[in-house]
Amino acid sequence: MIDSSHSAKALAATADSRNEQDVTASMIGAPGLGIDLAIDPASDLAQGFARQVVVWARARGDAASGLDLLERAARAVSEATANGHVCLPLDALVGDAPDALAAARDTLLATGLVLDASASGPSARASVGEPMPLVLDAGFRLYLQRYFRYEQRLARALHRLAGPVTGAADHRRTIDAHFGPGRADDIDWQRLAVAMALRQRLVVVSGGPGTGKTTTVVRLLACLLDEHPDLRIALAAPTGKAAARLLDAIRQRSAGLPRSVAAALPGQASTVHRLLGPLRNAPERFRFHAGNPLALDVLVVDEASMLDLALATRLIEAIPANARLVLLGDRDQLAAVEAGAVFAELSSDPSLSDGARAAIAADAGIPPESISAPAPEARTRLPDTTIWLNRSHRFDRDSGIGRLAARINAGQGREALDAIEPDDDALRWLADDMPALSDRSLAALLDGYRGYIETVRMSSAASDPVQAAETARRAFAALDTFRVLCAQRHGPRGARHLGAMLDAAIQGAIHPAARPASAWWQGKAIVVRRNAPMLGLFNGDTGICLAAPDARLLVWFANGPADWRAVAPARLPPFDSAFATTVHVAQGSEFEHVALLMPARAARVATRELVYTGVTRAMRKVTLISSAEVFDQACRLATRREGGLAQRLLEASTHRPADDPR
């Protein structure tokens, strides 16, 4: 048993005195214009890019009057992209007055370094050999040309994929076989999602934790296999953890299916990177693409909110003609770490046309007038593709986590904290506004890993590969009962600092007699930070250091629910401690108990989506460590990512751009 109060003091004593401080960001641009331009004064890449753009402009002999605006624009759009935006609204630089916007457009286009995407014909294309690094569209959105091309390509790929299945038949008998008769007085949106997916080649299903996304997919695949037994089906997710969870959930929910159907379900799931096949010498390039599509008929992608613009483009381009794509995710969660919020944009329009409503109602066995789709948040130009699942089967709105998640999404952070009862088994709030955590908070974090520490301490040396795999299984199961999630990566309350503290304290608890001299020890848990395709490791994969049968310390990773492999520590790509990670890293994972650690003061990174994502990683219990003010401000701060995918979809539906490179 661990003495939490004593361990907390020991934990605090391991703190690195050189706490990393968050970079102080300066702000440029007009306030209140819808985008936050966080400019790091030491941002060499953005500043270097801006200077190079000016060099190119001067080499062309353009007037110096526009170079100042050009440099500011180049740096700002580069920084905006680094902060997750796909583009930069021009009004963030010059204000929203029509005259100012028009003048800025003319000035930037006159430099010869900005492509006018609103033009048509040859004027919209860069001359051969001339750099055109920036693009300005008709909506006064400024892009790095690379991301503008991604949006164009993604819009074309989506339009190619979207649409009804050729020769779609009556699916009512198939749906009734897996759902039972339809009820007009109690609409089952899982049933409607399956009915839509049987008729459409692109379906986007958005729902919070426990709303039945995986159950919906299992029933959809069962219906498809009933009608087409030879379908080639693939499962994928952005991270290895999410892929393993998807496969495990499908296996659990397929128990009641006919044996022939259950046997035809996929036996593995992969990350999106693995599915696309990164090339060994060029990991950002893939074996499968538009010219060499994937060999599949149905692709299911879970945790699709984690797909950034570049990866989503490459994935959807690689889907063959006439295949089906099902995207599962939660539009309220954090968007991808890289630029773009593709899933949020695609899932924003759940409206149904009259024709689609009638067809879906017929298949579902209910009157069309009983289907009332929610109002769209924005139009996507991809009609009849999106279903929202709103009924949670894991925890209802009256449960602790259910109430907390609902109030976070409503922006009611202070009300959520006030509603937490002292004896609530599911929710605990530790009010802590100290720059470094209090002893009480530190003790709570270490106490959460008590089960993991005891599991590793009780593990005997593996005598054979089977026993080694069983030891890995028990260790991972124990590790997944608790996780510390941080809003920030740096600083005294950040994941790096707390991960190092917990690493040292847990090492001392597992090996109390004598700490190992090596940096590697039985029970050390890590999370991979960089893709290593040659090792089959990808950003976000979790590993645990355990002894192999030959007594070597190896880092074990999960290929699936009962499939383990070991990697020598010296071969690992860069990694961090897994005992404290950022919420971003934990996205796509689930834990029995989550401790969510907020910054000591309000920070740009602490948003409603981050808090919601962190809280909903928990299945049973949440511990919040935050001041009331910081938590409330975070719940009120909704993230908005700038992009123009809706405009690109409109353009793709009417014509192919003149500057289409393909």
pLDDT tens digit string along 350-389? Answer: 888 888 888 888 888 888 888 888 887 877 788 888 889 8
Task: Find the angle CA(320)-CA(218)-CA(378) to the nearest 5 degrees.
Answer: 65
8 A C-beta contact, residue 97 and residue 652? no
Q: What is the DSSP letter of 598?
A: -
For tokens 């991301």, name the residue.
Answer: 147
Inform me whether the pLDDT recorded for 47 exceeds 60. yes
pLDDT tens digits for range 56-74 = 888 877 656 788 888 888 8
Q: How confident is the model at residue 340 (pLDDT cuts 50, 70, 90)?
A: confident
**CA 147 to CA 46: how far, in whole Å?**
15
Inform me whether the pLDDT recorded for 462 exceeds 70. no
Kindly list the distances between the CA atom of residue 175 and the CA atoms of 187, 189, 233, 362, 559, in Å, as whole numbers in the listed order: 14, 13, 19, 11, 33
Q: What is the DSSP letter of 63?
A: -
**CA 85 to CA 147: how far, in whole Å?**
10
**CA 589 to CA 244: how far, in whole Å?**
10
CA-based nearest residue to 587, from 331, 339, 211, 241: 241
* Other C-beta atoms lying within 10 Å of the C-beta of residue 612: 23
Amino acid at 566: A
Tokens describing residue 415 = 């009300």
For tokens 């707390």, name the residue.
Answer: 498
Tokens describing residue 9 = 């003091």
Of 656 and 579, more confident? 579
Q: 314 φ, ψ to 5°?
A: -65, -35
Q: What is the DSSP letter of 466?
A: H
**CA 408 to CA 392: how far, in whole Å?**
16
**Taking phi first (over 0 means left), then psi (-120 to 50 degrees means alpha), and beta for anything else, what does residue 333 get?**
beta
**Which positions ≥6 away from 47 have C-beta within 8 Å?**
75
Q: 423 φ, ψ to 5°?
A: -100, 15
pLDDT tens digits for range 153-199 = 999 999 888 888 876 677 888 888 778 777 767 778 888 888 888 88
8 A C-beta contact, residue 380 and residue 342? no
Antiparallel, parallel or unpaired: β 233-237 and 278-279: unpaired
Inform me whether the pLDDT recorded for 230 exceeds 60. yes
pLDDT attached to residue 16: 35
**Which positions ≥6 away from 331 have C-beta within 8 Å?**
206, 305, 343, 344, 347, 348, 388
Q: What is the DSSP letter of 25?
A: P
Tokens describing residue 75 = 């740096």
Q: In what order do the strands lie in the sheet containing 202-207?
A: 270-271, 233-237, 298-301, 324-329, 202-207, 386-389
8 A C-beta contact, residue 285 and residue 279? yes
pLDDT attached to residue 655: 63
3-class DSSP state of 418: helix
Tokens describing residue 152 = 């164009």
**CA 522 to CA 401: how far, in whole Å?**
34
pTM, to two decimals: 0.80
CA-based nearest residue to 426, from 619, 632, 635, 614: 619
pLDDT attached to residue 128: 40
Largest alpha-carbon pair distance within the chain?
A: 77
8 A C-beta contact, residue 474 and residue 655? no
Burial class (CB in 10 A: 0-12, 13-18, 19+), 209: buried
8 A C-beta contact, residue 625 and residue 598? yes
**What is the rounded average pLDDT of the residues 599-609?**
85
3-class DSSP state of 317: helix
**CA 629 to CA 57: how far, in whole Å?**
48
Find the Cα–Cα–Cα–Cα dihedral 258, 263, 264, 265, rounded to 10°.
Answer: 90
Q: Which residues pair with 528 in a beta bridge?
A: 575
**CA 362 to CA 341: how far, in whole Å?**
34
Q: How confident is the model at residue 662 (pLDDT cuts 50, 70, 90)?
A: very low
Residue-averaged pLDDT of the chain: 81
